[in-house]
A and B are shown apart, each in its own frame.
Chain A
Amino acid sequence: MLRVLALASVVLLGIAPQASQAITVYTSWERHALVGSDIRLSCTFFSWRSISEDVSFTWRYRPDGSKDSISIAHFAGGEAYTDNKGVFKDRVEFVGNPKRRDGSILIKNLDFSDNGTFTCDAKNPPDIVGRPSSVRLLVFENLPIQAGVITGAIIGVVLGLLVLIVVIYYLMRFLVARRVFSLSVSKHGKKKKEGSQQRQGPAPPADPSKVKAAASEKKKQESRKDKK
């Protein structure tokens, strides 16, 4: 058992330094947008090293059905460069903050021809080994209803109403029961007071503590009956 543990730790220590050198890039999986709108494609990365001065981001675009990709945005050496010749001329803007690991771009005035895959590649020297991440852009005329949203909404609302009705029913029962109980106690208290005042006239005043004890005993019996 100890030997297995030692072997495992040696293997892990052997792998770990290599794993810690790789940079991992994160983008969304798929984005939907309306034609004519703007969209912000986010790209961030995780690196075991601190952000260097030479951090770089590169965005590539590959249209649907094509095999080649072209560069549309590049950030390096503290400067951002965007497409000034191709399809995205004057439409793409680098809006990320590389010092905060954000390499997002903003694409304006989308058209159906912008459907495709956008790939972000980030490098944080000396941490340069990593796989770029892609986000698929789908441009619609009208945004379609996502699968399952209406289903979930209908089920959720109906079950929620059911739970609400049950809760309200039990709450009303509880409140009505409490009101009935407190009403009966107060009625009983008034009757007891009138009775004791009448008796104090002709007879010598009864011991107040004895009267109180008798009254509380009666109240207890009454509440026990109510509870049943």
Chain B
Amino acid sequence: MLVLVALSVLHLAAIILLLVATIDNAWWVTSTTSTDVWGRWMLTGNKWNLTDLPASYPPDYLQAVQATTVLACIFSIIGLFVFIAQLFTLPKGNRFTVSGVFQVLASLFIMIAASIYTDRFHANERSIGNYGHSFILAWIAFGLTFISSIVYFVLRKK
């Protein structure tokens, strides 16, 4: 019983981290900007304004990062529902493979997103700014979803 609660909490935490990483525009921050993957917040005077991302960003890589973060969120959320459904329908002694598959796919997609972002964006600006909380949460979410999927693949239903 405790194991199930812990698993659900882990899965839920992963979902929350994924959602924050996807929605919050804070993959890269400087003293006056907070940017990616959907828009750029710029501090002008005392107000933060949301502006478009610069056209110098490679559009295909940017859209790939957007798509894969969204897909990771979708798969993880569907995975939570599948896990709850499997709790009731799985015969005893079986493993939660389908939930594990969904979680491992979510982990794969967020890894793709974070990797593309690390490699292709702000490569020349390392001294001007630093990675923001969304970026860090994306990598942490990758770890959590991966661990979660391993547990689903190994655990057997009592």
Contacts and interface: CB of A to CB of B under 8 A. Distances in A.
A151 interface: yes
Contacts of A154: 63-64, 67-68, 71
B5 to A, nearest CB: 28
Interface stretch (A100-108, A122-130, A142-150): A142-150
Contacts of B67: 150-155
Contacts of B74: 155, 159
Interface in B4-36: none
A158 interface: yes
Contacts of B68: 154
Looking at chain B's contact residues, is the secondary structure mostly helix, strand, loop, or mixed? helix
A149 B63 contact: yes
Interface string B33-64: 00000000000000000000000000110011
Interface in B62-82: 63-64, 66-68, 70-71, 74
B100 to A, nearest CB: 15
A188 to B, nearest CB: 28
B85 to A, nearest CB: 13
Interface in A142-193: 144-145, 147-155, 158-159
B111 to A, nearest CB: 15
B108 to A, nearest CB: 11
A144 B60 CA distance: 10
A167 to B, nearest CB: 15
B71 A148 contact: no
A154 B72 CA distance: 12
A149 B67 CA distance: 10
A151 B67 CA distance: 5
A145 B70 contact: no
Contact of B70 (A149, A151, A153): A151
Most buried by A among B60, B67, B68, B70: B67
B137 to A, nearest CB: 20
B76 to A, nearest CB: 13
Contacts of B60: 145, 150
B63 A144 contact: no
A150 B64 contact: yes
A159 B60 CA distance: 19
B71 A144 contact: no
A147 B60 CA distance: 9
Nearest to B61: A150
A152 B71 CA distance: 11
A150 B71 contact: no
Nearest to A150: B63
B27 to A, nearest CB: 16
Interface in A91-149: 144-145, 147-149
A175 B59 CA distance: 45
Nearest to B58: A145
Nearest to A153: B67
A217 to B, nearest CB: 32
A156 to B, nearest CB: 9
A9 to B, nearest CB: 45
Contacts of B64: 150-151, 154
Nearest to B78: A162
A101 B67 CA distance: 42
Given A149-B63, A150-B60, 5 more contacts: A148-B63, A151-B63, A153-B67, A154-B68, A155-B71
Interface of B: 59-60, 63-64, 66-68, 70-71, 74
11 contacts: A145-B59, A145-B60, A147-B59, A150-B59, A150-B60, A150-B63, A151-B66, A151-B70, A154-B63, A154-B68, A155-B70
